[in-house]
Structure 1
Amino acid sequence: MFEHIPMFHVVFQLIFCFLAFLFMLYDIALLMATYAYRNDQNIPFAYLIVMNVCGVLCKIAFITDFVTYLVLPYYEYLAYREFLGREFTMLGTLTYFIPMCVSVLMTLNRFFIVLRPTDQRAFGQKRIFFYSFLILILCFTLLLIPRLSYCPVNFLASTLVFLTACAPERHPVTKFTNINAIWVPTTLLVINLLMVLHLKANRYDIYSRIRQKSSVISMSSSNSLAQSQIRREHMLMRQTVAITVGLSFYEVGSLLMRTFPDTYNSLPQQVRDLTFYFRLETICAINFIVYYMGSPSTRKMLKKYFRSGELKRDLSTRKISSTFQMSRIET
């Protein structure tokens, strides 16, 4: 089956698919738990739904890219990529761009909470879904233009290259997104870190030592009225920082490749390929890193969801057992 594929790629593509599949199962589980606790005001319901739906679809696209290459004969794989490859490439890129843009929305949400912690009407759950829909339309349009043009993009697992039909040229929209995508996570990272420092300064009364006493009393009163919002803000800000850092791995790698092409090309081919697998896997691991490793609240929610499922099964088993015993007594 793998005669036409170097063993190095067979091993690492199988590892990639296995890990991506596990991360996809986590996304599905978290999606189910989020829906089950959709009325819980302590979880960012809309963000979790959007991020996990994108996570599942993104991993389906990536896994399909590699599995078809591993399973199909090489010429059949090329025919398949010509038939559906551009669509799966577009799906994978779309579900990568949407979380990146949603992180912009999250940062605006955080900034709005810092300015007006008691007024969250602009970022209610329904409005977040609406904003996310607008983001979907924007990202889809940016990807659809090259897809319908003379220069669509097609990912080839055989060479680990996003190949364009007009290679070595690229469509202007594709070139623009490739060059400027790096600024989204890096800019957001700086903004979020500044907001974290601002909140830390508020917590330790650094500003109050400079301001007048009356301003301190007013600020303390306002903070006391919005403690729950501020706690939720801290959680969401940590998640936003984690998302921007995770997305930066792939974009920073692309930036270094464009900035130092000679140095990058001088590296052994296996090192370059392994770097690509790692960068792509970081995209698959975003939701696990953000919403499990970096978010105690969603981690507790997920554990609670599975414990409740085990409790229901246990109660159901006991009910069936008791019914069976009652039937035996009656007979």
Structure 2
Amino acid sequence: MNVSNNTIVLPNYRVLSINQIMIQVSSIIFPSIFLAFDTILLLSTIESRRDSSIPYAYLMVMSLRGVLANFILLLQPCVYLIATLPGYFEFTELMGREATLLGNFSYLVALVINVLMSVNRVAVVMKPMNTWFDNTRVFIYCGIIAILMLISLLIPYFSPCDINFDMTRLAFISGCAPGRHPVRF
């Protein structure tokens, strides 16, 4: 987006309506609270790693995922509010693909790990004394899930039609827009 030299470009918060500002501020406040919670949970899980009565592996993986997701959820609206519109678009060109990749990765990993936790509960009811879900194996399962999710997200990342989250539209935008991305899932 080109801006002429005699045009004053205001930060985005100066040109938004009060309702839009309230939505943007709440999209900063809530991830900040959740980021603090996930950080405290991660630190307390690390501190309690020798306690066998807690699901250490699940707590570690989910709190790490939460820290990553909330950082990305906090970064995008902060940059959007503080920067000018051309500055925000410069940010999305510089780091938007990576932020979208990390945000989607942390979101999708959480969904699949929740399924893994449900399978774990069913397995414990079916065979209470099995060792299919000890901490080491849960870390291995979560690692396999993370690798598979990352591979599935790297395909559109390295394609010419990268996916990017746009705060001005509050939507995921394909690099081929308005056309569809060739790989949809």
TM-score normalised by the chain length of structure 2? 0.89
Letter in 1 for 2:176: C
Summarize the alignment of residues 223-302 of structure 1 with structure 2, pairs less than 5 Å apart.
none
Task: State how 1:137-216 maps to structure 2 within 5 Å.
Answer: 137-173=147-183, 175-176=184-185
Instruction: State the shift of 1:169 in Å.
Output: 3.2
Q: What is the CA-CA distance between 1:7 and the residue it aligns to?
A: 2.8
Aligned twin of 2:114: 103
**Residue type of the partner of 2:70?**
K
Q: Partner of 1:239 in structure 2?
A: none
Does 1:25 pair with 2:25?
no
User: Corresponding residue for 2:135?
Assistant: 125
What secondary structure, in the 3-state scheme, does the structure 1 residue paired with 2:165 have?
strand
Residues 179-198 of structure 1, C-alpha deviations (whole Å, 9 max, x = no match): xxxxxxxxxxxxxxxxxxxx
Q: How much does 1:172 deviate?
A: 4.3
Name the counterpart of 1:42.
53
Structure 1 residue runs of 4 or more that deviate by more than 6 Å after TM superposition: none
Runs of at least 5 residues in structure 2 that lack an aligned partner in the other structure: 1-10
Structure 1 position 170, deviation (Å): 3.2
Report deviation, 1:5.
Answer: 2.8
2:94 aligned partner, one-letter code: F
Shift of 1:94: 0.4
Q: Which runs of 5+ in 1 are unaligned?
A: 177-331
Count of aligned residue pairs for this structure pair? 174
Q: Which amino acid aligns with 1:79?
A: E
Greater share of helix: 1
Could you tell me whether the CA contact under 8 Å between 1:4 and 1:74 is conserved in 2?
Answer: no
One-letter amino acid matched to 1:168: P
Distance 1:137 1:6 in 2: 42
Alignment of 1:76 with 2:71, yes or no, is: no
Cα drift, residue 127 of structure 1: 0.8
Q: What letter is aligned with 1:8?
A: N
Residue by residue over 1:261-290, the C-alpha shift from the partner in whole angstroms, topping out at 9 and shown as x without a partner, is: xxxxxxxxxxxxxxxxxxxxxxxxxxxxxx
Relative to structure 1, the CA distance from residue 39 to residue 113 in structure 2 (aligned partners, 3 Å threshold; closer, same or farther) is same
RMSD between superposed Cα atoms in Å: 1.2
Given residue 11 of structure 1, which amino acid in structure 2 is its aligned partner? M
